[in-house]
């Protein structure tokens, strides 16, 4: 018996996408309040502890606090927001991607009821989807994953929407097939995929490889979803190009900084 709200949806846009979800009376979705684009009249917002799943709500206050604690450990807000249609007739709510990329709609029941996703990928889900932590195999992996390699576990039998930065690639790994991936380029995977973190071999590779000190190893069987533009990579490029205190570049005093100033007309 399904426990999730069955919602209808439409994904619009090309590289700057948003998902428009149609809610019947009483239906709801749960997500971060900051992802909301708009809601039609009749949809009410309620901030709750945890994720709004039956697991976190059915146990009373203690269960709700435990659900909230899961979110805190993942580095996200203690609170989630439920968007419920309390009006008459169908109503729509829209949720926007935080930066250029693609929104992926995944029906959890069709992939075994569980999805492992990078913590920044989750956008919104049908109310009842449980959000928790998927620990990495070794304790050190979560601490030294280069780009914050912390994974969330989404469980349920309804729709979940995740966001991939840049261009999306979906790969199906055969049993035993190995794939090495930059940690930030992982969007999501099925729980049947074994994952670990490995250090890039060789000091030269660490210093001059340009791809960070760690990468993830994914071993099949199962599906994996990959992104070409992790937010951490985008943010680091913007930070490197932005003027720093006093309008001076971060590379000020270096050959690179001098060339950059010449190229953009700043010949100080």
**CATH for 145:** 3.60.160.10
Alpha helix positions (H), the chain: 54-57, 60-73, 139-143, 203-208, 231-241, 255-263
Residues 24 and 148 placed together within one structural domain of the fold: yes
Cα–Cα dist 52/30, whole Å = 7
pLDDT at 197: 80
| CB proximity list for 8: less than 8 A, separation 6 or greater | 21, 22
Counting the structural domains of the chain, the total is 2
For residue 129 the two structure tokens come to: 């989807």
Q: What is the pTM of this model?
A: 0.75
Query: In the beta sheet, which residues pair with residue 182?
Result: 215
Residues 258 and 136 placed together within one structural domain of the fold: no
Residues 157 and 48 placed together within one structural domain of the fold: yes
Cα–Cα dist 52/4, whole Å = 11
Collapsing DSSP states into helix, strand and coil, what is residue 120?
coil
Q: Is residue 234 part of a domain?
A: no
Long-range pairs for 137-140: beta carbons < 8 A, 24 or more residues apart: 137/194, 137/195, 137/196, 138/196, 138/197, 140/197
- The pair phi, psi for residue 175, each rounded to 5°, is -55, 125
Residues 133 and 68 placed together within one structural domain of the fold: yes
Residues 151 and 257 placed together within one structural domain of the fold: no
Q: Which domain holds residue 268?
A: 240-268
Q: From 64, 21, 28, select the one nearest 45 (Cα to Cα).
A: 28
pLDDT at 78: 59
Residues 206 and 254 placed together within one structural domain of the fold: no
What's the distance, CA 38 to chain centroid?
20
Residues 79 and 168 placed together within one structural domain of the fold: yes
Residues 183 and 105 placed together within one structural domain of the fold: yes
Q: Is residue 3 part of a domain?
A: no
pLDDT at 206: 53
- Would the CA dihedral through 114, 223, 125, 65 be positive or negative? positive
**pLDDT tens-digit profile, the chain (268 residues):** 445 677 889 999 988 999 999 999 999 999 877 899 999 999 999 987 666 565 444 455 545 555 555 555 555 555 788 999 999 999 999 999 988 999 999 999 999 999 999 878 899 999 888 887 775 544 344 444 444 467 888 999 999 999 999 999 999 999 999 999 988 899 999 999 998 887 766 555 555 555 456 788 999 999 999 999 887 777 777 888 887 655 555 544 444 444 444 444 454 4
């Amino acid at each position: 018996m399904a426990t999730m709200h069955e919602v209808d949806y439409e994904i619009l846009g090309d590289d700057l996408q948003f998902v428009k979800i149609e809610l019947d009376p009483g239906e709801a979705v749960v997500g971060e309040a900051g992802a909301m684009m708009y809601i039609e009249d009749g949809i009410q917002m309620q901030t709750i502890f945890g994720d709004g799943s039956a697991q976190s709500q059915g146990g009373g206050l203690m269960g709700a606090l435990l659900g909230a604690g899961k979110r805190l450990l993942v580095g996200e807000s203690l609170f989630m927001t439920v968007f419920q249609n309390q009006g008459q007739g169908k109503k729509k709510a829209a949720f926007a991607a935080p930066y250029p990329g693609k929104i992926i709609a995944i029906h959890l029941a069709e992939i075994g009821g569980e999805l492992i996703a990078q913590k920044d990928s989750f956008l919104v889900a049908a109310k009842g989807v449980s959000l928790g932590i998927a620990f990495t195999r070794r304790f050190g992996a979560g601490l030294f994953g280069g780009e914050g390699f912390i994974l969330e576990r989404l469980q349920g039998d309804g729709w979940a929407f995740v966001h991939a930065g840049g261009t999306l690639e979906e790969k199906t790994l055969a049993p035993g097939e190995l794939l090495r991936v930059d940690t930030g380029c992982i969007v999501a995977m099925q729980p049947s995929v074994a994952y670990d973190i490995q250090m890039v071999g060789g000091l030269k590779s660490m210093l001059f490889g340009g791809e960070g000190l760690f990468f993830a190893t994914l071993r099949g069987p199962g599906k994996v979803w990959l992104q070409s533009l992790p937010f951490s990579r985008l943010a680091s490029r913007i930070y490197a190009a932005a003027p720093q205190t006093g309008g001076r570049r971060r590379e000020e005093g270096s050959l690179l900084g001098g060339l950059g100033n010449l190229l953009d007309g700043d010949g100080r």
